[in-house]
Structure 1
Amino acid sequence: MATGSRTLWKGAITFGLVHIPVGLHTAATEEGVDFDWLDKRSMDRVGYKRINKRTGKEISKENIVKGVEYEDGKYVIISPEEIEAVFPKTTQTIQIERFIDAAEMPFIFLERPYYVAPIDKSDKVYALLREALVDSGKIALAKVVIATKQHLAALVPSGAALVLNLLRWGDEVKALDSLDLPPAGRKNVSAAEMKMAKQLITEMSGKWDPEDFKDEFRHQVMKLVEKKAKAGKTETVIEPEEQAPESSNVIDLTELLQRSLKGGSKSHGKAASKPAAKTAPAKKAKARRTAAKKSTPERKAA
């Protein structure tokens, strides 16, 4: 539940003069099967690089710019400064714009839910808003900025919690004009057909219990994974490691102590100067380590 999860965002619900300090908590997780890409010849992980699609050559991050395609094959380049200038300003508020009847919100607009929990001794006013929404049958439409992105959201009472469900913007939901749908109403439905349909619905009706529904594909794949693992049908994937520093760069404390005991201050001076003469190999080792890092895949393939 929200009380036991990490707070992702702290701010306040505001409407009129009401100010309710709250924190957001993740209310959903994605539990799909996480397939990694592996090279079947060596069982190494496979990532991806920044590749020029025309030349097939890898390019550096510094040579990449952001462009928006406005016509087929034609782009407008937007600079980082121009992007930063139009970023929404972070206000740390869930600014309620309007209250609507809960039944008015089409499910198609719902995108991602977050639990909203009171902080800083705001329990009483939090409960007041929650119960007022329940009694009135309303939900709140609000705007909120999360991670520099502005969202439209619905604040919905759900049991003891308020849930902030991020919504799709109006122009992100396609209209029905292009679909060939039967007209609304019972004009093409007979009374007998309606009676049988309602009877079937009644027979199949039950209470909502999320435990009754599972991702069957994920469960079947994980059963297969467990079965193969028990049978020893596994492959070892070795992560690429950085090269260890050359032994000449590691100071042997025992050797230094022995030299100091044998030669006194003169030997001590020689011992102290010895590592300084080895600076060139150290640079080479550093260069090799840098090259090893660059060759490591930059992101795990999904």
Structure 2
Amino acid sequence: MSRIIWKGAITFGLVNIPVVLRPASRSQTLDLDLLDVRDMAPVGYQRINKSTGKPVDKEHIVKGYQYAKDEYVVLNDEDFRQANVEATQTVDIVSFVDVESIPPYYFDTPYYLEPDKRGERGYALLHETMRRTGRAALALVVLRARQHLAAMLVHGDALVLNTMRFADEVLPISELRLPKSAKGKATGAHAREVEMATKLVEDMSEDWEPEQYRDTYRDDLMARIEARIESGKTHQLTQPAAEEEAPRQSAKVIDMVALLRKSLDHRGKGGKAEEEPARGKSRAKAEAEEAEEETESEGRARRKAPARHAAAKKQASTKRATAPAKRASTATKHAPAKRASHAPAARKSASTARRKQAA
């Protein structure tokens, strides 16, 4: 079980529910040490006095607030505790809101709320009331010397406290350049695209099973580390691989309907893909990339087709142009022969006429 990091009470109105706070998440990042590559000795983090340049022991370090240049007020843990004892020991519910009305980018870190001694009845009452009303409780709580806005949510039989960002910590969406949803716009979604995308979403829908998703990057990095240990090359630095410069791609007009259709065609029976994509790549992303490649191939084929048709058309016109010339040359070739064949007959007729006249 995770450790208790805070003890206090939930308060709303005159209700006071003793609770303890436990972490609801844990970091899976690799714990890496800094080393001196010459002798593999660990390199520590030193706290340096900026005036003398010398290291400072931890017991000599305090927190201070600078109220003027180089002038500080020293504060310790007791100052933070006494600043507002009530605030540091309560989850003070200030209002209840519809769960769906909270934008997801406001959420930060989740914690589990567990009833403390004599807090079971109040805990159960609050949990059941929030479950029936479908509301989330907005509260203020001080954790680690900082006040947080927090949302208390119902999940199963538990209450979850999720710290949130304050409004001034969230950048406004209005500063983004976003596509308009109006129909007919070049950047908007068309009805046919939405229809096919909806079919794809329904085909890929499944029950929420977070256990099937893993940090594949961490797994792959650990596999490299274990392979280095097995090979005995623990102190050998990996040389950078030669990277080929990717060719610059021109702007492409993506046929979304074709991509969606191919994505649907590539889905196997039962909503599963026919072939599993590479590990660490989502199924939808792999299908979209494959569909895009096929669409590009078809586009190249269509661009080549007009050229082939033009060449065929040119060849046909050349044949038609040479045909009359051939016929003309043939006629010219036989014409003299024909005239030559009739010439002796004409001369014979003329001589016969002259003899008749003389007689």
TM-score range, shorter chain: 0.5 to 0.7
Match of 1:148 among 145, 150, 163: 145
Tell me which residue corresponds to 1:295. Answer: none
Aligned to 1:199: 199
Q: Equivalents in 1 of 2:213, 2:82: separation in Å?
A: 40
The answer to whether the 8 A contact 2:10-2:16 is kept is yes
Report the 3-state secondary structure (helix = DSSP H, G, I; strand = E; otherwise coil) of the residue aligned with 1:33: coil
Distance 1:131 1:76 in 2: 54
Q: How far apart, CA to CA, are the structure 2 residues paired with 1:123 and 1:67?
A: 41
**Other-structure match for 1:80:** 74
Would you say the 8 A contact 2:64–2:75 is kept in 1? Answer: no
2:62 touches 2:75 (CA, 8 Å); kept in 1?
no
Instruction: State the shift of 1:169 in Å.
Output: 1.1
Answering whether residue 102 of structure 2 is matched by residue 108 of structure 1, we say no
The equivalent of 2:311 in structure 1 is none
1:122 equivalenced with 2:119 (yes/no)? yes
| Residue identity opposite 2:84 in structure 1 | K
Q: Deviations over 1:199-238 (max 9, x none)?
A: 1111111111111111111111112222222333446xxx
Q: Which residue of 1 aligns with 2:231?
A: 231
Could you tell me how far apart the structure 1 residues matched to 2:84 and 2:73 are?
18
1:154 touches 1:165 (CA, 8 Å); kept in 2?
Answer: yes
Are the structure 2 counterparts of residues 65 and 137 from structure 1 closer, same or farther at C-alpha, using a change threshold of 3 Å? closer
The RMSD of aligned alpha carbons is 3.0
In structure 1, what is the equivalent of residue 128 of structure 2? 131
CA contact (8 A) 1:33 1:221 kept: no
User: Following TM superposition, by how much is the alpha carbon of 1:80 offset from its aligned partner in structure 2, in angstroms?
Assistant: 2.0
The residue type equivalent to 2:201 in the other structure is I
Q: Secondary structure at the match of 2:175?
A: coil
Alignment deviations for residues 122-164 of structure 1 (CA, whole Å, 9 cap, x no partner): 2222112112111111000001112222111110011111000
Q: 1:118 to 1:31 in 2, by over 3 A?
A: same
Larger helix proportion, structure 1 or 2?
Answer: 2
> 1:7 aligned to 2:4?
yes
Aligned residue type for 2:200: L
Q: 1:281 maps to which residue?
A: none
Matches of residues 38-117 of structure 1 in structure 2 within 5 Å? 38-51=35-48, 57-58=53-54, 60=56, 78-81=72-75, 84=79, 88-91=83-86, 92-117=89-114
Indicate how the Cα distance of structure 1 residues 18 and 52 shifts in structure 2: closer, same or farther if over 3 A, else same.
closer
- Computing the radius of gyration over CA atoms, which structure comes out larger, 1 or 2? 2
Deviation at 1:11, TM superposition (A): 0.8
User: Which amino acid in 1 is paired with 2:113?
Assistant: V
Q: 1:206 aligns to what SS in structure 2?
A: coil
In structure 2, distance between residues paired with 1:86 and 1:227: 50
Q: Residues 188-267 of structure 1 correspond to what in structure 2 (within 5 A)?
A: 188-234=188-234
Q: Cα–Cα, structure 1 residues 97 and 64, in superposed 2: closer, same or farther, change >3 Å? A: closer
- Alpha carbons 1:88, 1:149 under 8 Å: kept: no
Q: Structure 1 pair 222/63, CA: closer, same or farther in 2 (3 Å)?
A: closer
Count of matched residue positions in the alignment of Structure 1 and Structure 2 = 227
Whole-angstrom CA distance in 1 between matches of 2:117 and 2:161: 19
Q: Percentage identity across aligned positions?
A: 38
TM superposition score normalised by structure 2: 0.56
- The alpha carbon displacement at 1:15 in A equals 0.4
CA distance in 1, matches of 2:71, 2:203: 59
Paired with 2:12 and 2:178, the residues of 1 have a C-alpha distance of: 40
The SS at the match of 1:80 is: strand
8 Å CA contact retained: 2:138, 2:150 = yes
In the TM superposition, residue 75 of structure 1 has moved relative to its aligned partner by 6.6
CA shift in 2, pair 1:12/1:52, >3 Å: closer
Q: Aligned residue for 1:242?
A: none
Contact preservation (8 Å) 1:26, 1:113: yes
Distance 1:87 1:45, change over 3 A: farther
Instruction: Determine the C-alpha separation between the residues in 1 that align with 2:70 and 2:65.
Output: 5
Q: SS at 1:79's partner residue?
A: strand
Matches within 5 A, 1:152-171: 152-171=149-168
CA distance in 2, matches of 1:58, 1:175: 44
Kindly indicate whether structure 1 or structure 2 has the higher relative contact order, using CA contacts under 8 Å at least 6 residues apart.
Answer: 1
